[in-house]
Chain A
């Protein structure tokens, strides 16, 4: 009997201690916000276009974190799909929408036809349309993300979508017939006047590993061409570096633009929220006023009855 009791007590104590510990840990180390959502959100282009079927980039990010497909974002294009796939360790699927839709566009209002209804202003997720009631509206070109959300509400159909200035797409030089494989002989290392490791940069530039290339100071390359001159495999190294630099700058631009748009979107959300709050306040004030006025009515009624009681004969 005693061993059984000992066992039961021992287990009981262990269970209680473990339970307390678990309960404490669950409270102490509670994860309030999912950090993954923010990481996903920074990769999205922040156009807030809702083409993915979610009302903005943040909701889509939340949806992705719970397992929604990552290829629903046409403005982000295939690049975003690949970046998301890398982040989430998934297979990059081809973009769901057709490529034509992925081309960046800009809204333009045919201003002589605009009737000043302000519907498009309310629809714009990034406050990129200016104007007032009964006045002509206009699109701020630099802020427009081409999300097409203003098109549907327009009653006179005066909004067009025009192609944004096409960005120049650089192309790698055609592989010359004499270009052989890099054997990492290191002659370029000796030749480089700014002490780079050209063979590593070539490796990373070829593999689109731009963050690595930056770690190896790609941006310090002065494009003097000495590495190309000494290369026993006759690789036009500088061409690769130019390409990589261009791609990095483009990426940075995109990122900056996305950040700016995100700021505007966040500001708009804030503004709408505060407007709503103000409205709510006014409504409440009115309600209170109505209540006090009923009290006043009651007072008047009471006074009238008192008067009636005093002078029963009068009407």
Chain B
């Protein structure tokens, strides 16, 4: 018979909800710096504009719902949603892209479900998916990273994952990499540093115990495993190296900031591992065999669907069977 071990709570270490949200914002800073370094200050403008939209829309809906806007805005959840979406959309996106996204995130995905804590789907990812499907051109036009000669017009706006999917032809992985040297060493100049920035921020969140290790570990582990299996020695049918997948696209942002959104994630320890692995699996499938170069948003939304079910079947038991 094994009785559950508990950690006694220590009042002094407990952060309040607004503090948690502020720490998430702080943890975004390294990744944001990398984004600004390689893609210009467009992301900063995105953040400012989306935050403004988020706060105004949230206040508006709260007034319509006869709640106190001042009280609910103080939990900073709207700002976190805005910042996360701003980091996902291309720098320098048109203004209407931002406000459309925030409308879907705040009004549709969050407040119509009852506000913070009641939403089934991650608001930022709902908005991202809507924008990606409705405005695919604007959503995939990333600026050319700094430090790259803009000689290849064909590659304008394509990220490394994009290129790897669509432009590879039948090349071996090594050939592809040799031909596109400007894509850096791991997964595209700039992107590897942006991901490293998010990784650093995520480790801070882990250290502060704001997120649990289960979801990022399961998600990254699952992706690494799949990438290793389907790397296929770098053949022409290869799915790409594990490092390319870990440091390409939105992997680290997704693993530490998006998938760990507590409201829409699974909450049991075992469930979190299943949930994280599921997101890793779906992301990899979409990236390699699906129709989109990156699949974090869809994978997270699919995970959100499954979270209640996972929670139900992974309820902890106080006393394990003898």
Q: Which of A's residues lie within 8 Å of B, judged by CB?
A: 177, 180-187, 189-197, 199-200, 215-217, 220, 226, 229-234
Interface pair A186/B267, CB less than 8 Å apart? yes
Contact yes or no, A191 B20, CB < 8 A: no
Task: Determine whether B317 belongs to the interface, using a CB cutoff of 8 Å to chain A.
Answer: yes
Q: A183-B20, A183-B77, A233-B16 are in contact. Are A197 and B268 (CB under 8 A)?
A: yes
14 additional A-B pairs beyond A197-B311, A226-B6, beta carbons within 8 Å, are: A181-B72, A181-B75, A183-B77, A183-B263, A184-B262, A186-B262, A189-B267, A193-B4, A195-B4, A197-B268, A197-B316, A216-B315, A232-B15, A232-B20
Assuming A183-B116, A192-B6, A195-B4, is B16 touching A232 (CB within 8 A)? yes
Interface centre among B11, B75, B263, B267 (most CB of A within 10 A): B267
B14 touches A195 (CB 8 A): no
Residues of B near A217 (CB, < 8 A) are: 315
Q: Are B263 and A189 in touch, CB under 8 angstroms?
A: no
A259 CB, min distance to chain B CBs, angstroms? 30
A181 B17 Cβ-Cβ under 8 A = yes
Residues of chain A with a CB closer than 8 A to B212's CB: 186
Query: CB of B91 within 8 A of chain A?
Result: no
Tell me if B17 and A233 are in contact (CB < 8 A).
Answer: yes
B7 near A190: Cβ-Cβ < 8 Å:
yes
For residue B7, which residues in chain A have a CB less than 8 angstroms away from its CB?
190-191
What is the CB-to-nearest-CB distance from B223 to chain A, in angstroms, rounded to a whole number? 23
Whole-angstrom CA separation of A189 from B118 in the bound complex: 18
Given A180-B17, A181-B75, A233-B16, residue A193 in contact with residue B6 (CB < 8 A): yes
A230 CB contact (under 8 Å) in B9, B116, B318: B9
| A232 partner, pick from B14, B77, B265, B312, beta carbons under 8 A | B14
Contacting residues, chain A, for B318 (C-beta < 8 A): 194-195, 220
- Please, which residues of chain A bring their CB within 8 A of the CB of B311? 197, 200
Q: How many residues of B contact A (CB 8 A)?
A: 35
Residues of A contacting B9 in the complex (Cβ-Cβ under 8 angstroms): 187, 191, 226, 229-230
Query: How does the 8 Å CB contact mask read for B51-91 relative to A, with 1 for contact and 0 for none?
Result: 00000000000000000000110010100000000000000
Q: Choose from B17, B19, B117, B317 the contact partner of A195 (Cβ within 8 Å).
A: B317
Which residue of chain A has the shortest Cβ distance to B19 in the bound complex?
Answer: A232
A135 to chain B, nearest CB (A): 59
Measured between alpha carbons, how far is A220 from B17 in the docked complex, in Å? 27
| Nearest CB in chain B: distance from A175 CB, A | 10
Instruction: State the CA gap A187–B6 with chains docked (Å).
Output: 11
Most buried by B among A189, A196, A232, A234: A232
CA A187 to CA B262, docked complex, whole Å: 10
- Determine whether the beta carbon of B116 is less than 8 Å from that of A189: no
CB of B15 within 8 A of CB of A190, answer: no
Interface membership of B115, Cβ < 8 A: yes
CA A180 to CA B20, docked complex, whole Å? 13
Enumerate chain A residues within 8 angstroms of B210, measured Cβ to Cβ. 185
Chain B residue numbers with a CB within 8 Å of A182 are 117
Q: Which residues of A contact B15 (CB under 8 A)?
A: 232
B6 touches A190 (CB 8 A): yes
Please tell me if the beta carbons of A197 and B267 are within 8 angstroms of each other in the complex. Answer: yes
Give bound CA distance, A197 to B308, whole Å. 12
Chain A min CB distance to B23 (Å): 11
- Closest Cβ neighbor of A180 among chain B residues: B17
Task: Name the distance in Å between A58's Cβ and chain B's nearest Cβ.
Answer: 37
Considering only CB atoms, which chain A residue lies closest to B261 in the complex? A183
Q: How far is the CA of A186 from the CA of B271 in the complex (A)?
A: 12
Contact across chains for A184 and B263 when beta carbons are under 8 A apart: yes
Residues in B whose Cβ lies below 8 Å from that of A231? 14
Contacts of B77 in A (CB 8 A): 181, 183
Complex: chain A residue closest to B75, CB-CB: A180
- The listed residue (B11, B115, B316) touching A189 by CB distance below 8 A is B316
Min C-beta distance of B300 to chain A, whole Å: 15
- Choose among A189, A229, A230, A233 the residue that contacts B268 (Cβ–Cβ < 8 A): A189
Are A183 and B115 also in contact (CB < 8 A) when A191-B6, A193-B4, A199-B267 are?
no
Identify the interface centre among A187, A189, A192, A233: most chain B CB within 10 Å of its CB: A187
Q: What are the residues of chain B within 8 A of A189 when measuring CB–CB?
A: 267-269, 316
Q: How far is the CB of B273 from chain A (nearest CB, A)?
A: 13
Residue from the set B9, B212, B316 with the largest chain A CB neighbour count within 10 Å? B9
Contacts of B19 in A (CB 8 A): 232
| B14 touching A187, Cβ below 8 Å | yes
